[in-house]
Structures are given as structure tokens and as C-alpha cells.
Amino acid sequence: MNRTRYRLTRSPSSTAERGSVTAEFALALPGVVLVLLLVISLAMTGASRVALEDAARAAAREAARGESVASAEQTARDAAGDDISISVSAEGAYTTVVVSRPVQVLGLIELNAELSAEAHARTEHLEQPGGAP
């Protein structure tokens, strides 16, 4: 019986390419991480925008019910955080609240941009004790 032995040897081309996948991965990894950080930053900016809108609505309701401006500002800070700026104004029959915050990338790098939200609520005119509106 004739037994043939096969010996596996590496060709010269496979030896030269050894480690190329690792090198390509090392070159692509910073780009992948950058894209991932950008997506996370955009999601955080969107969540911040929603928080600002909620804060503006809550503060406008507080001010429209006749609560003090300080109470409305505290309500907005409770909803969106302490790093916001708030403007409360009463214009005719409506109370307007504008809440804004600087844009930050991943909470670390502040850009020259600002997120803002505005809410309007019809001011309630409640009667004061003694019959005066």
C-alpha cells in the first residue's frame, strides 16, 4: 500500500501578510470610536433638549398659576439641572418662559452653541382674598 504524506507548508505570501488584519483594525479603531462618541453625544443632546422643553413647560405652568418667579425658576432647575439660564416674562394674558443651556459634547467640551426651549401658558387671574382680582 502506497501512503502519500502531505506536508502543509506556509507559502511566502501568507507569511508576509501575517498581522495585516491587526494593523488594519488598529487603524480603523479610532474612527469607529469617534463615530460612536458622536452618536452618543447626539443622543445626549436630544435628551437634554427634551429636558429643557419639560422644564420650560413646568415653569410656565407654575408662573401662570400665580406662583412666584423664584418658584418657577426652581421648578425649571429641578427638571433640567442647575446649569440652565431661565427667563420668565408676563406678556398680556400669557406667561412666557425661555430656558437655555450651552451645548456640550459628552458633557466635556462646550461648543459655541446653545439649546433653548420656550413655553407659553395663559395666565390665571385668581381672585385675591377680599374680592380684588
Grid cell of 4 as nine digits = 502519500
Q: What is the pLDDT of residues 85-115, one digit of tens each?
A: 999 998 888 999 999 998 877 656 667 788 9
**pLDDT at residue 6, rounded to an integer:** 67
Q: What is the pLDDT of residues 20-44, one digit of tens each?
A: 888 888 889 999 988 888 888 888 8
Given a contact cutoff of 8 angstroms between Cβ atoms, the answer to whether 124 and 64 are in contact is yes
**pLDDT at residue 108, rounded to an integer:** 64
Helix (H) or strand (E) holding 22: helix 20-64
Given a contact cutoff of 8 angstroms between Cβ atoms, the answer to whether 117 and 86 are in contact is no
Nearest partner of 92 among 64, 118, 116, 59, judged by Cα: 64
